[in-house]
Structure 1
Amino acid sequence: MVWVGVWTFPLFDPLATATTATAAALLILFELLYVYTAAAGFDGVGTPRMRAALFAAVAALGVTLAAVYGDHWLVLMLFVATCGMAVFAGEERPVTAIWVCLATLAAIVAVGAARHVSWWTIGATLVSSVLASALVGAVRQMSRLVRELHRTREALAEAAVAEERLRFSRDLHDLLGHTLSVIVVKAEAVRRLSERDPAAAAAQAADIEQVGRRALVEIREAVTGYRETGLTAELARARGALIAAGITADVLRTADPLPDTADRLLAWVVREATTNVVRHSRAGRCEIAVSTTPDAVTLRVTDDGPFAAATTPPAGNGLRGLAERLRTTGGTLHTAPRPGGGFTLEARLPL
């Protein structure tokens, strides 16, 4: 905190020279208690009742020191006001912080008048307390809103994954429900006819075999449709997933139509990269760009997440699997943090 230097002012008060050691010890105790309480307020450490109790201790010690020593010690009330904002401004009912600030201002006037502190000092302390409290309250509210945005983004990402799972399960149900019902009915017929009419039972068994083979073909087609979606469809799906997660999506494609193998592989890359951005990046913007040269196609996915340039996150199973797929066709996969913050994934395939 930029104004902590004023903590040393009370020690220069001539009225405290007779009890310098005691005054210094009490001032250090106040400083430590203030720092811990303000940090607990910002980080949400402990229960609201515990944080309120800590603030009460800070306020009691600050008012006591100002009332006993007066003069420069009145500046401690500034820290009482900012501590109240740090503790209460981020709660569900931040009006408590306003009442705490007003009570602190009243205490400044009362203590200053009782100790015969100059009105210029009292006025300066009042103005400083109001400005510092407003600053801390604004920062406290911003930190609360940022945490809420992060929680909302995570919830949206989980909802997008759940929606995709629901869609897949619904399609499988529609695809297999009728087929499995037919198989069950015919299996019951086989069981009933197996002893008295073997020929009819064999016919029913042949029908079961035919229905089962047809179901396998339909399942393969359905799974292929999910696993081998073309690049164009996957780009559209990625854009929708990013937007649903609260991430601004920029999709740029300047590539010509690609061969089937390259198209399917890059669709896999887009899916895995988008999943990582939604789940792990905490980014606000993501750009997906596809471009071609006469001999290669390049897919680049960049985000502005909080990865530091000096740290490289470990590659997960998904990225390792993508790198192996690309290597089988002569392609490469490169991942690295961006110098200005964020993360870049680049896949390159020969044409």
Structure 2
Amino acid sequence: MTVDDGIRLGIPAGTGAGAGAGEERCRRRWWLRGSKDFDEEIEQLKGPDGNALIPWILMVIGPAGDILSGKVALPWLAGAGLAVFCVLYVATVRTAFAERWRSGPVPFRLLCALAAVTLALAITCGDNFLLLFVLVSLGVGSVAKSRRHLGLMLTPLSAAAGITAGLWHMGFWSTVSLAYGTFLSGLVVSVIITLFHAVAQLKETRQQLARSAVAQERMRFSRDLHDLLGHTLSVIVVKSEAARRIAPRDLDAALTQVADIESVGRQALTEIREAVTGYREGSLSTELDRARSALTASDVDVVVQESGPPLPPQTEALLGWVVREGVTNVIRHSGASAARIELSTAGGRARLTITDNGCGRAAAPATGVTRTGTGLRGLTERLAAAGGSLTSGPAAGGGFRVAAVLPVEDGGTAP
């Protein structure tokens, strides 16, 4: 089973650490949906390309009608100007959204040319040619890169539309309507584009968060796998070595060790199945019993001291992981002949300390610098997430010491 398989099976984040049912359900829905859906959503969310603004060019039907009906003095010149207007309008809105051109000066220059042609046509022809200011406003909404630029371009454009309408004696309300419509058209286009980009950024951010959550889940699963199997495999190795040593002189004792190996293997298989299905709950008393058995089989004298009231399940689960990892380190790294496990609950806090008289768990021979292994780093993260702490290092009288502290609420419930 790979890490991705574990993720898709919906293993809860608190496997062995008392994760809440609500958190588990949320995580399962998250992983069952998968990050592929997010990739598909982003792929389907294509950026605006200006095509939605091109149909508005049909507004030139009004000015074209004026040319055909003979309302314009120089129809051939007005027709040529209207054709140039159409080309400039399409070029402006397309370059405003094109990846190649939108960050450069080309869209703005085309917009300026479009505005100049519009102003010339409106002043010389009037009537329906005044509606071309609205199309220029749409181009402004497409080209403007900020609200400041939008205001600086829309304000003079609307003023020019109103003044030109006044020159043709369009009446007060017609003049005001044209100026207001020109300003509002560009503003609406700019707002829609801004909202579109905001939605696209939000979906892209959600995709990044999904990928980050997948990476964190992979790390959590690998940490759980280490905590779950590291201790068990260490016990199996120790008991196998013990069986091999005593088999020549005491076959019954060796068979007892082999039976223990079988029991530990079956228990490990059960734990893996329970972890995959999301129902595993750590038991501190079980871990302490296993610790006694494993340390004794490794010829390590162990003393377990417990004091205080019973702990809530979540706290027991976390401390059970600490016992598992700490005892595994004593067996595999310390070379100790004696170990002590102390558990006490007082003042709203549970304290678990594991000490040994070995050479120090991870001290580099040349430097004497203590290095923290993967298991202890994972436990430190778990306890920190629950409001507790984990410290490890050389003990005062020699050997190695692991100390865990977790808050416990009054009444036996963990925070």
Length-normalised TM-score, structure 2: 0.41
Bigger Cα Rg? 2
Q: Which has the higher contact order (CA 8 A, sep 6+)?
A: 2
Length-normalised TM-score, structure 1: 0.47
